[in-house]
Amino acid sequence: MSQYDLFDNDEKGGAWRDAERRFHKLVNNNKLGGGHRFNLNKPRMSLVPHAPIRMVAEVLSDGACKYGDHNWRGGLSFTGTIDSIERHLGAFKDGEDYDQESGLHHLAHAMTNIMFLLQFIEDGMDYLDDRYKKDKEEVHTVEG
């Protein structure tokens, strides 16, 4: 007797069983066993492609050789980071796939810098935000 047999005699019949199966699929993403894991409303990390993440890791490894591990976590100005993103995107738009200095893909460099900005925002490092804003009286710069 399966867990679904409990609903066979229910007056709602198939619709009830279908709803239960959909719920079970959402709750139990362990396809090989019977264990439950409540992953509803959690990001599905298995959807993230591995190759671009590996390419970002290569850029970070190259940067670690030049500047030290986790150097970027000390903070980089938003505008300096945006400048780097735009230089790499510009080179890519102009037909150059790989950075001449590192030999790594320009898009991986751009993506790494975008990840830096997202992490700075996530970490509440607002003091690094030196972007021009129309409603802002004074634009400050961050040395670095």
In this predicted model, what pLDDT tens digit does every residue of 19-64 receive, in sequence order? 766 666 655 556 666 777 777 888 999 999 999 999 999 999 999 9
> Residue 12 sits in which domain range?
3-45
Residues 69 and 22 in one domain: no
Residues 37 and 80 in one domain: no
Residues 30 and 59 in one domain: no
What is the tally of helices (H) and strands (E) in the chain?
Answer: 4, 0
Residue type, 34: G
Residues 57 and 35 in one domain: no
Asked whether residue 137 is domain-assigned, the answer is no
Q: Which residue has the tokens 């030049």?
A: 66
Q: What is the pTM of this model?
A: 0.71
Pairwise pLDDT comparison (135 vs 66), residue with the higher score: 66
Calculate what percentage of the chain has a pLDDT beyond 90: 63
Asked whether residue 135 is domain-assigned, the answer is no
Residues 38 and 86 in one domain: no
Residues 79 and 109 in one domain: yes
What is the C-alpha separation between 21 and 28, in angstroms, rounded? 10
Cβ neighbours around 38 below 10 Å, total: 10
CB-CB contact of 53 with 45 (8 Å): no
Asked whether residue 28 is domain-assigned, the answer is yes
Number of domains forming the structure of the chain: 2
Pairwise pLDDT comparison (79 vs 27), residue with the higher score: 79
